[in-house]
């Protein structure tokens, strides 16, 4: 199946990359359904706010330790993120924006920082098995990214002493070596990285989650 979930807003802010990466993977498999019918990209987009709220409320109850790490990591991105008081606070903000804006396409600056084990937790929440690959910080290049097929790939930028080893972002690379990120598909075998990605100055791959 083709198509890619949009994310981001007019201010150039992105903050739901891990969720979008996993959902892009499930959409390609045709595993996002309602009443026996596969959801369209547009329908997934419209339900994104509810999807985030559902997982955040779930992890708050099921794994308070992981929930606390998600919050701390999110706050480390500064800006509005450091004002978040809890995952419930983030849910309240999403609910308010969903009611009052085109949040499905804009996200209005809401961000949720997901460490690698949190992304695996979200995969499990959706019934998707995964493993965390063992890496030695390979460079963030097309030639390295294309090796990580059917993976949610972490994007790193120093200092590596920051929380989560300098992890800044997640992208999805499918089985054909197509990277799906910020609403754009890039064929890593034949195309250079988009300028929007180059501008972020990612320099290494700190972690990779292999989907099964």
Instruction: List, for residues 13-46, the tens digit of each pLDDT value.
Output: 557 889 889 988 888 877 665 545 677 777 777 7
Kindly give the parts of the chain with pLDDT less than 70: 1-3, 5-14, 31-37, 101-109
154 neighbors 145 (Cβ within 8 angstroms): no
Per the CB < 8 A criterion, the answer to whether 65 and 28 are in contact is: no
Closest CA to 3 of 35, 43, 37, 34: 43
Angle in degrees, 0-180, between the axes of helices 116-125 and 64-75, rounded to the nearest 10: 130
d(CA 82, CA 158): 20
DSSP 204: B
Three-state DSSP class for 38?
A: strand
Neighbours of 33 (CB within 10 A): 10
The SS3 call for residue 203 is coil
Q: Do 184 and 20 meet the contact criterion of CB atoms below 8 Å apart?
A: no
Given this model, what pLDDT does residue 104 score? 56
Strands 151-156 and 167-173: antiparallel
Write the CA distances from 28 to 22, 23, 60, 115, integer angstroms. Answer: 10, 9, 29, 24
Identify the pLDDT of residue 46: 74
pLDDT of residue 10: 47
CA proximity to 154, closest of 168, 143, 142? 168
């Amino acid at each position: 199946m083709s198509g890619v979930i949009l994310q981001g807003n007019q201010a150039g802010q992105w903050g739901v990359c891990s969720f979008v990466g996993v959902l892009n993977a499930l959409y390609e498999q045709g595993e996002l359904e309602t009443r026996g019918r596969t959801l369209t990209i547009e329908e997934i987009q419209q339900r994104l706010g509810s999807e985030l709220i559902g997982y955040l409320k779930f992890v708050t109850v099921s794994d308070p330790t992981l929930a606390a790490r998600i919050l701390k990591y999110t706050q480390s991105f500064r800006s509005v993120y450091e004002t978040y008081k809890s995952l419930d606070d983030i849910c309240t903000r999403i609910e308010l924006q969903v009611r009052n804006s085109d949040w499905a396409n804009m996200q209005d600056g809401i961000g949720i920082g997901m460490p690698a084990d949190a992304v695996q937790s979200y995969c499990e929440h959706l019934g998707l098995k995964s493993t965390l690959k063992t890496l030695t910080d390979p460079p963030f290049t097309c030639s390295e990214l294309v090796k990580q097929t059917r993976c949610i790939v972490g994007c790193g930028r120093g200092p590596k002493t920051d929380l989560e080893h300098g992890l800044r972002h997640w992208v999805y690379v499918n089985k054909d070596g197509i990277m799906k990120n910020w609403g754009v598909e890039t064929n890593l075998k034949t195309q250079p990285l988009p300028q929007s990605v180059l501008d972020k100055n990612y320099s290494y791959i700190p972690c990779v989650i292999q989907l099964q």
